[in-house]
C-alpha cells in the first residue's frame, strides 16, 4: 500500500523520483523500490515522506483513507468535537459533490478566473 500512496503523492506533486529522492536525501533507486513495493522505507523515511506531503503516516501505510488525522479533520472542517468520526467520509463525499456541482453551474469566465 505504501508504494501506491507514495507514487500517487509524488505524481500529484509533479515530482520525479530523482527530485523526491533529493528532497528526502536518499537515492532514486530507493524511491523506485518503495513505489513498486519491493522494499519498505525505514520509519525515519516514512515520517519524512508524511511530513513533506503533509499526510499522516497512517494514510501513507494504508491504515486510513484520509490524508490528515481525524482530530485535524475536525479542526480543519470546523466540526464540533462530538461529530461522529464515521460520518466524515459521507460529509467529504457530499462536499466533493457540492464542489463539482458549483464548478458546473458557474459561468465559464468564473471557472477560468476563480
- Provide the pLDDT for residue 65: 72
Residue 42 has what pLDDT?
Answer: 96
| Cα–Cα distance measured from residue 67 to residue 55, given in angstroms and rounded to the nearest whole number | 5
- Cα separation, 55 vs 46, whole angstroms: 11
Distance CA 25, CA 18 (A): 10
Q: In this predicted model, what pLDDT tens digit does every residue of 83-100 receive, in sequence order?
A: 777 777 777 777 767 766
Summarised one tens digit per residue, pLDDT across range 9-35 is: 999 899 999 999 999 999 999 999 999
Q: Say what the pLDDT of residue 25 is.
A: 97
Give the span between the Cα atoms of 109 and 71, in whole angstroms.
Answer: 38
Say what the alpha-carbon torsion angle 23, 75, 97, 61 is, to the nearest 10 degrees: 40
Whether 54 shows a pLDDT value over 80: the answer reads yes
Amino acid at each position: 500500500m505504501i508504494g501506491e500512496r507514495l507514487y500517487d503523492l509524488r505524481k500529484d506533486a509533479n515530482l520525479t523520483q530523482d527530485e523526491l529522492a533529493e528532497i528526502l536525501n536518499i537515492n532514486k533507486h530507493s524511491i523506485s523500490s518503495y513505489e513498486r513495493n519491493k522494499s519498505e522505507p525505514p520509519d525515519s523515511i516514512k515520517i519524512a515522506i508524511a511530513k513533506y506531503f503533509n499526510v499522516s503516516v497512517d494514510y501513507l501505510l494504508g491504515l486510513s483513507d484520509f490524508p490528515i488525522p481525524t482530530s485535524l479533520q475536525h479542526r480543519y472542517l470546523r466540526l464540533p468535537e462530538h461529530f461522529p468520526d464515521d460520518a466524515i467520509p459521507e460529509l467529504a463525499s457530499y462536499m466533493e459533490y457540492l464542489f463539482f456541482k458549483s464548478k458546473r453551474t458557474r459561468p465559464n469566465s468564473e471557472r477560468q478566473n476563480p
